[in-house]
Amino acid sequence: MVILGIETSAPSASAAIVKDGKLLSEMFLNVGLTHSVTLMTLIRQAVEGTGMSVDDIDAVAVSNGPGSFTGVRIGVSAAKGLAQPGEKICVPVSTLEAIAYPLSNSNSIVVSVMDARCQQVYCAVFDCHNSEMTRITQDDAISLDSLCDMLKTLDKDIMLIGDGTDIAYNYLSSEIPHLYKASPIFKYQRASSVAMLAENKIRNNEGVTSANDLVPSYLRLSQAERELKKKKENE
């Protein structure tokens, strides 16, 4: 099974090829360029670096949110475009689940956090033990105060991971003494994690879909939609 992983949910972008549980290649950029400019080049380099072509890919996995509205949309659109001609299967992967994946063997509570602006974070909580990830919460967009209240109920060591780690740690550490930050190397989302998780989902026949049915998961309205809704409520 050859899987192409795509990750564009935040400022960084990456593409990876996984075959039968082995990471063969991964291309990663975090230089501030728009994903519409960089993504297809990253995908081409990740595929060609393995000596394969797009025709050799069996499945396309993509982080379908939450995250940047534009970034998620670009990643999902690319996945649909690559999968549709050959009717390849698609696997949507939670961005927050992919963020937590590198710590699946940490024997701790892992909290994936992404900066959602306006004193909010996208977050999900996992109990990670012996390479198994058990969800404690579903993906959500919540305030830092709400996150603090939730984490206070947990009595195990808590590891923050993701691009919202510093924001969350600075806000929460005085209230939660058993709170720790993952290594900075895990700060950014990676397509390799997306592809690895997708392989598990395919094996378990979980969440596999077609290109036509692949959709983003935004969790909340965009800023423009929120402002429009607020304007209508005030009329």
User: pTM of this prediction?
Assistant: 0.92
- Give per-10-residue mean pLDDT for the chain (235 aa): 97 97 97 94 98 97 96 98 97 98 95 93 95 95 96 93 96 95 94 98 94 92 46 53
Note the pLDDT of residue 50.
98
Note the pLDDT of residue 122.
97
Note the pLDDT of residue 173.
96
Which ranges of 20-132 does DSSP label H, i.e. alpha helix?
Answer: 35-48, 69-83, 95-100
Nearest to 4 by CA among 36, 73, 52, 37: 52
> Is domain 98-186 given the CATH code 3.30.420.40 in the classification?
yes
Domain ranges of the chain: 2-96+188-231, 98-186
Q: Are strands 179-181 and 140-143 parallel, antiparallel or unpaired?
A: unpaired
Note the pLDDT of residue 86.
95
Helix (H, G, I), strand (E, B) or coil at 161: strand
The tokens describing 14, both together, are 């990456």
> Is domain 2-96+188-231 given the CATH code 3.30.420.40 in the classification?
yes
Note the pLDDT of residue 91.
98
* Domain 98-186 in the same topology as domain 2-96+188-231: yes
Note the pLDDT of residue 234.
55
Rounded distance between C-alpha atoms, residue 19 and residue 74, angstroms: 24
Note the pLDDT of residue 119.
86
Rounded distance between C-alpha atoms, residue 23 and residue 138, angstroms: 28
Note the pLDDT of residue 32.
87
